[in-house]
Structure 1
Amino acid sequence: MASSAITKVAIAGPNGTLGPPIIHHLLKAACFDITLLTRDPAKAAETYPAPTKTLAADYSSVPNLTTLLRAGAFDALVILINRDQVTAQTNLLDAAAAVGGLHVIPSSFGTSYEHPKGRQLGALINKLPVEQHFLRLAEEGRITYTAINTGLFFDWALEKAGLPINLLGGPTMLFDEGKVRLSVSTLDRIGEAVAIALLRKEELGLVNRFLYVQSAVVSQAQLLAYARQLAPEREFKTVGVDTASIEGPALEKLERGETGPEVQRALMARFSFGLGLGLFERSDNEILGLKDMTEEEIKGLLGGYFGEVA
């Protein structure tokens, strides 16, 4: 079952956040034939010219996806669909299982859902059914997988979400005094990990395994101290948030069927900071030959944004 070397890779959802770094590292490896499966082939073809190939995909149709995967004779499928799109992900997994013999990198990026407290809290409500689906297919011998947990997308969060500290001009929401440590990964680190997982899955024993990959372990207080050191002329305001106080109202809304961004943010804050589950219990960096960022590299990353912030 998917025991030979991987050469032909299908990537579903290349137009999202993780598409560029992952495709970059797969191309850099110079041993993969890459085909992009996407709802918007024109955009993908413009973004990723030859040697990548592009095919229009209907994520709502398992028969369509099965036909594409079978015709391409792929060895592996990398799913980059947003985790909120549960049906699209499970359809891709079902298509891979129908073809048989594919090694799948599921859309498990981000925070791990393995800890029982996280499952009870429901902070990653859309991640669990997909995880259960690919685990069942693997147990049935219809696919193999390597699931890669990466923690918070470090540089993406600094640029887009103002997390774990706000470099966008507003105050930082300082959760539980900002002392809780988190595992974080840059987008480039995620691309590295995917490429290694496909290139060396047999050699490193990565088949049917969850990996924990990070660029660094940081706290909000630590990052704020670095930012103030690097930009002493700026004021980095904070607003204290006790995650225990926001958990109850969020859970009440969840019980009523409300699963919007406000609920998810509150539950993720409690999950990551209040319960300390944003910090991986182990790191698999050494297995993959990856190193954590140094203090100077973290400062360099933060300092790169100051010229762009109002």
Structure 2
Amino acid sequence: MSRAIKNVVLAGASGNVGAQVLNALLDIKEFSVTVLSRSPRPFPVGAQIKVVDFTSIEDLSAALIGQDAVIDTTFSPDVETPLRLIEAAAKSGVYRFITSDFGLDPELPGVYDLPVFGRKKASYEAVKKQAAEKRMTYTLISCGAFLDWCLSTGFAGLNFQEKTAWIFGDGNNVHPWTTLEDVGKATANVLLHPQETLNRPVYIHSVFMSQNQLFDIAKGISGGEWTATYNDMEPLLQKALGDLNSGNISDATFVVQIQYCLATEALAHPWKSDDNPLVGLEEWNSEKVKALVQEIANQKAV
């Protein structure tokens, strides 16, 4: 049986996803929001702050007593932090746990086989175990790639200053992209629909689009000649996995694994079941995407 959710705890509120989730939670006036923090620091008005020891299940459990839901938006590579949060939430009687997933469909064969998603896999298995034992319920947010973040950081393969494009495979695979703001809104709104989002991934998107479609928008906005490099992702993946096994680890070791997924239809494609209407999101049209690309291109030109 579902229960109304009022008291909500957020972990990782200072991160890219967490900050957007916090803003969205505070916009929903019926929630009482508590932020877990490793140290005293300022957060938006309306959020209560609890300083906790994230290495201690006992300390976390004490902080979670009386809470209805916990949202984990921590993104450190440490797999133990989310597992401790899950265990502490279950011990404290928390009803709903939203894991720090925010990515591809965990139900697709092969997605969680990649080492880059090991932390997410461990969290998913942990909440499913708690749910099977009737100790807690859970939700995951599947949002594909972060549209605005990927464009801003270059993760989407587009360099606006140098007018170069690093294309994953042939660049034609269409998959979900979601802005951080839309992720935050959807995550908060999940808690308004506890029964409909019970023990499952919730599938959201701002737009379904290929990397080449984004590239075409970028070229149309900026003008001039762009240079594109089309990359066979399979050997790049194998090199990344080999480097990981040998301890020759860099950011690219993990980035390539995600980009391989985005180039592969079996691992990343438009959702068969879409939850945008449930969580209050509207799909973006091409003009809205173009405006975002223009905004980011302008920022990079400064």
TM-score by length of 2: 0.92
Q: 1:174 to 1:261 in 2, by over 3 A?
A: same
Deviation at 1:293, TM superposition (A): 0.4
Alignment of 1:88-167 (within 5 A): 88-167=81-160
Q: Deviations over 1:205-247 (max 9, x none)?
A: 1111111111001112111111121221x44332221102212
CA distance in 2, matches of 1:123, 1:149: 16
Q: Identify which of 241, 248, 273 aligns with 2:231.
A: 241
The 8 Å contact of residues 178 and 205 in structure 2, kept in 1 or not, is answered as yes
CA distance in 1, matches of 2:50, 2:163: 42
Q: 1:296 to 1:53 in 2, by over 3 A?
A: same
Q: 1:84 to 1:39 in 2, by over 3 A?
A: same
Alignment of 1:231-310 (within 5 A): 231-232=222-223, 234-256=224-246, 260-282=250-272, 283-310=274-301
The 8 Å contact of residues 149 and 211 in structure 1, kept in 2 or not, is answered as yes
Helix, strand or coil at the partner of 1:286: coil
What do you get for the CA RMSD once the two structures are aligned? 1.9
Q: Identify which of 62, 74, 82 aligns with 2:67.
A: 74
Q: 1:181 to 1:83 in 2, by over 3 A?
A: farther
Helix, strand or coil at the partner of 2:70: strand
Deviation at 1:167, TM superposition (A): 3.1
CA distance in 2, matches of 1:208, 1:17: 25
CA distance in 1, matches of 2:8, 2:151: 31
The 8 Å contact of residues 144 and 178 in structure 2, kept in 1 or not, is answered as yes
Alignment of 1:225-236 (within 5 A): 225-232=216-223, 234-236=224-226
The 8 Å contact of residues 113 and 124 in structure 1, kept in 2 or not, is answered as no
The 8 Å contact of residues 186 and 280 in structure 2, kept in 1 or not, is answered as no
CA distance in 1, matches of 2:157, 2:267: 14
Deviation at 1:168, TM superposition (A): 5.0
CA distance in 2, matches of 1:61, 1:245: 41
CA distance in 2, matches of 1:306, 1:262: 24
The answer to whether structure 1 residue 206 and structure 2 residue 197 are counterparts is yes
Q: 2:44 maps to what in 1?
A: 48
Helix, strand or coil at the partner of 1:40: coil
Q: Identify which of 166, 173, 176 aligns with 2:166.
A: 173
Helix, strand or coil at the partner of 2:80: helix
Q: 1:306 to 1:157 in 2, by over 3 A?
A: same
Deviation at 1:269, TM superposition (A): 2.0
Q: Identify which of 31, 52, 56 aligns with 1:57.
A: 52
CA distance in 2, matches of 1:212, 1:80: 17
CA distance in 1, matches of 2:110, 2:275: 22
Higher mean C-alpha displacement, 122-131 vs 74-83: 122-131
Q: Deviations over 1:60-92 (max 9, x none)?
A: 10000001111xx11111111106231110000
Q: 1:16 maps to what in 2?
A: 15
Q: Give 1:111's aligned amino acid.
A: L
Pairs aligned (count): 300
CA distance in 2, matches of 1:161, 1:96: 36
Deviation at 1:257, TM superposition (A): 5.5
Deviation at 1:186, TM superposition (A): 0.4
TM-score by length of 1: 0.90
Deviation at 1:305, TM superposition (A): 1.7
Percent identity between matched residues is: 27
CA distance in 1, matches of 2:222, 2:250: 35
CA distance in 2, matches of 1:275, 1:250: 20
Deviation at 1:259, TM superposition (A): 5.7
Deviation at 1:41, TM superposition (A): 2.5
CA distance in 1, matches of 2:76, 2:267: 19
Q: Deviations over 1:44-69 (max 9, x none)?
A: xx2323x2111101111000000111
User: Which segments of 5 or more consecutive residues in structure 1 lack a partner in the other structure?
Assistant: none
Deviation at 1:177, TM superposition (A): 2.0
CA distance in 1, matches of 2:19, 2:116: 27
